Amino acid sequence: MSFQPDPRSTASAELAPTEQVDVLVIGAGAAGMAAARQAAGDGRSVMLVDENPVSAETMGENVPLHFGGGMTGAVRNRNAMLEAVALGMPALEAALEDGVDVRLGTACWGIYTPGPDIGWLDGPVAGLMDGERSWMVRAGRIIVTAGRRDMGLAFPGWEKEGVMGITAAQRLAGLYDALLPRRVVVLGSSADTLRVARDIQTKGCMVLAVVDPGSVLRGPAALAAELEADGTRVLLGHAPARAEGQAAVSALTLRPVMPDGQAGEGAEIRLDCDGVLLGVGSVPVVDLLDAAGCRMSFDAARGGIVPFLDDRQMTTRPGIYAAGDCAGIWPEKSADTTIAEAEGQRAAMAEPGCGVDPHLASSDLAEERMAWVRATVLDSGDACHVCQCEEVTARDILEVRPPRYLGAETPDNEALRPNRRDLRGLLGDRPHPDQVKRLTRAGMGQCQGRRCREQVAALLALGSGQDYGAVRPASHRAPVRPIPVALAAQAVTETPAMAAHWDTWFGMPAQYVPFWAVADEYTASSRPRHSSDASE
């Protein structure tokens, strides 16, 4: 039988983007601004988008950062927030003078490139939204400078308001003047964490203590000394036991721990506070890059899961580049913005060969993350939810328990009992986070795994005996930002050819014949028989 193309397929449909530019830059930090200005200076048309200021509602969903309800009502003043973002970008005026089309409050929810599934694209396109509309932009080059976020850390009470990422706290305090907690405990002692803690402290927020389960300070002693001079306690060999309070945090209790995470000797310490800042690890924001199909790997010296990049900052997907923190995080880069700026310029250059990566110091990042998980998450059992969105505990993950709504715990539900095995027994020696996601729903909530992704990977490493870096990264899917269905429908205009057959998208096609040839009344027994069916 000769091949017949599916007349109802959308594979040959023409995508008509609303806008087209030579270069699209996603993220207006140091790297993004440098990339946009470099490309504009080369005479190319440039659009620079940045999702900030995000709405108060989006902040409430802990997107894009773990805000943890730690913002004042000031974030509801959209105009004031927009002004604050503009004033917080020193290079904004220069970029506008260079001819850069700057769009604030505009998020990118997906990037698509030509490939086996969408071979009809002739170049990369990006989906954008600004709260009122959603549309597609075609670009000759897309440069992602999406920044960083904070690793989550589960302990009893970490779902309370006031438990938040330290990057979110820094943004609220420094950019919007809208940080609600005034007496905080900081978890983590890396150079980045101490630097931000000091910055928050100088803005009038009292940092009661810096806490770390290790016996040695991870960051510079000079920064810790500056904090201590203003009344901050440095508590090594301690981890959070529980956060107290009703809806919001009112106190944090710490317990002594050994280097292996086991309980140490000594009494618990109770600190009255209204905020707990998670500074246990900075994570490159790679969701757009991963969802676009860029090859990723774990690189401890670059801060975790990062994209493969060539010497021009290009990913493994032609036309997509990465710069700034999403391309890698290390102490020297965090302290010196010129490194990120150089990456942005390199990604935007019309000609390759404009520099080399700086030396990357070795890092024990994997062990640092595992130490936190052993000291807090592993012992939590069923006492708290590692995945807050879907209410999945550490034991749920390690025992691969099915979601509670299936009723597996009820005495009469024997069908699901075989799942009550250990992680290795059910998924083998190399379990994948995507497997656990499908079986337990960990990471499937509205924050899209931003708070639990690294913790799940650490639990899989502990449960299977793998190294942390050997656990394959959980995959991302577009849209990488919450988007109303009404806005999503605006992104692609439905052609008449698509609209003529839309009803077939909602039904199951016939099993044996192409669905464009299916009769109004069809059964398998009435299908034509061929010689190849003789053995059936």
pLDDT over 70 at 265, yes or no: yes
CATH of the domain at 144: 3.50.50.60
Mean pLDDT throughout 406-414?
Answer: 61
> Is residue 288 domain-shared with residue 277, that is, in the same domain?
no
> Is residue 59 domain-shared with residue 137, that is, in the same domain?
yes
> Is residue 47 domain-shared with residue 145, that is, in the same domain?
yes
Give residue 534's pLDDT band: very low, low, confident or very high (50, 70, 90). very low
> Is residue 126 domain-shared with residue 163, that is, in the same domain?
no
Ranking 108-117, 210-219, 408-417, 444-453 by mean pLDDT, the lowest is 408-417
Q: What pLDDT does 123 receive?
A: 85
In a domain, 358, yes or no: no
Q: Report which of 444, 492, 502 is spatially closest to residue 135, judged by C-alpha positions.
A: 492
Q: What pLDDT does 118 receive?
A: 67
Q: pLDDT for 53-96, tens place per residue?
A: 999 999 999 999 999 999 999 999 999 999 999 999 989 999 99
Give residue 14's pLDDT band: very low, low, confident or very high (50, 70, 90). low
Q: What pLDDT does 215 receive?
A: 92
Mean pLDDT throughout 491-497?
Answer: 72
Q: pLDDT for 106-153, tens place per residue?
A: 999 999 988 766 666 778 999 999 988 999 999 999 999 999 999 999
Tokens 């009992």 map to which residue?
Answer: 417
Strands 275-278 and 183-187: parallel
> Is residue 111 domain-shared with residue 188, that is, in the same domain?
no
> Is residue 239 domain-shared with residue 340, that is, in the same domain?
no
> Is residue 156 domain-shared with residue 209, that is, in the same domain?
yes
In a domain, 357, yes or no: no
Give residue 513's pLDDT band: very low, low, confident or very high (50, 70, 90). low
Tokens 């060969």 map to which residue?
Answer: 353
In a domain, 7, yes or no: no
Give residue 49's pLDDT band: very low, low, confident or very high (50, 70, 90). very high
Provide the residue type at 489 as one letter: A
Max mean pLDDT among 32-46, 372-386, 411-425 falls in 32-46
pLDDT over 80 at 1, yes or no: no
User: Mean pLDDT score of the chain, rounded to an integer?
Assistant: 87
Q: Report which of 57, 52, 47 is spatially closest to residue 24, judged by C-alpha positions.
A: 47
Considering 320, 348, 376, which residue would you say is the last residue of a domain?
348
Using a pLDDT cut of 90, give the percent of the chain over it: 68
In a domain, 74, yes or no: yes
- CA dist 71 and 255 (Å) reads 28
Q: Report which of 96, 129, 10, 147 is spatially closest to residue 481, judged by C-alpha positions.
A: 129
Tokens 């995945």 map to which residue?
Answer: 387
Q: What pLDDT does 407 receive?
A: 73
Give residue 390's pLDDT band: very low, low, confident or very high (50, 70, 90). very high
Mean pLDDT throughout 452-469?
Answer: 92
In a domain, 499, yes or no: yes
> Is residue 103 domain-shared with residue 141, that is, in the same domain?
yes
Using a pLDDT cut of 70, give the percent of the chain over it: 83
* Residue 64, preceding peptide bond in cis (omega within 30° of 0): yes
pLDDT over 80 at 290, yes or no: yes
Close Cβ partners of 83 (under 8 Å, ≥ 6 residues apart): none
- CA dist 324 and 29 (Å) reads 8
Task: State the sign of the Cα–Cα–Cα–Cα dihedral 506, 507, 512, 517.
Answer: negative
Give residue 414's pLDDT band: very low, low, confident or very high (50, 70, 90). low
> Is residue 298 domain-shared with residue 271, that is, in the same domain?
no
In a domain, 47, yes or no: yes
Range of 516's domain? 493-531
Q: Which two tokens stand for residue 94?
A: 């220069």
Q: pLDDT for 176-231, tens place per residue?
A: 999 999 999 999 999 999 999 999 999 999 999 999 999 999 999 999 999 999 99
pLDDT over 70 at 439, yes or no: yes
In a domain, 8, yes or no: no
Contact 380, 154 (CB under 8 A): yes
Task: State the sign of the Cα–Cα–Cα–Cα dihedral 236, 239, 244, 249.
Answer: positive
Q: Report which of 53, 47, 54 is spatially closest to residue 126, judged by C-alpha positions.
A: 47
Q: What pLDDT does 518 receive?
A: 60
> Is residue 257 domain-shared with residue 396, that is, in the same domain?
yes
* 8-state DSSP, 233: E
Phi, psi (deg, nearest 5) at residue 11: -60, -30
Contact 480, 448 (CB under 8 A): yes
Q: What pLDDT does 531 receive?
A: 44
Say which residue, 2 or 237, is predicted with more confidence.
237
> Is residue 376 domain-shared with residue 442, that is, in the same domain?
yes
Quote the number of domains for the chain: 3
Q: What pLDDT does 130 receive?
A: 93
pLDDT over 70 at 508, yes or no: no
Say which residue, 493 or 527, is predicted with more confidence.
493
Considering 304, 322, 348, which residue would you say is the last residue of a domain?
348
Considering 434, 455, 470, which residue would you say is the last residue of a domain?
470
In a domain, 255, yes or no: yes
> Is residue 266 domain-shared with residue 318, that is, in the same domain?
no
Q: pLDDT for 293-349, tens place per residue?
A: 999 999 999 999 999 999 999 999 999 999 999 999 999 999 999 999 999 999 999
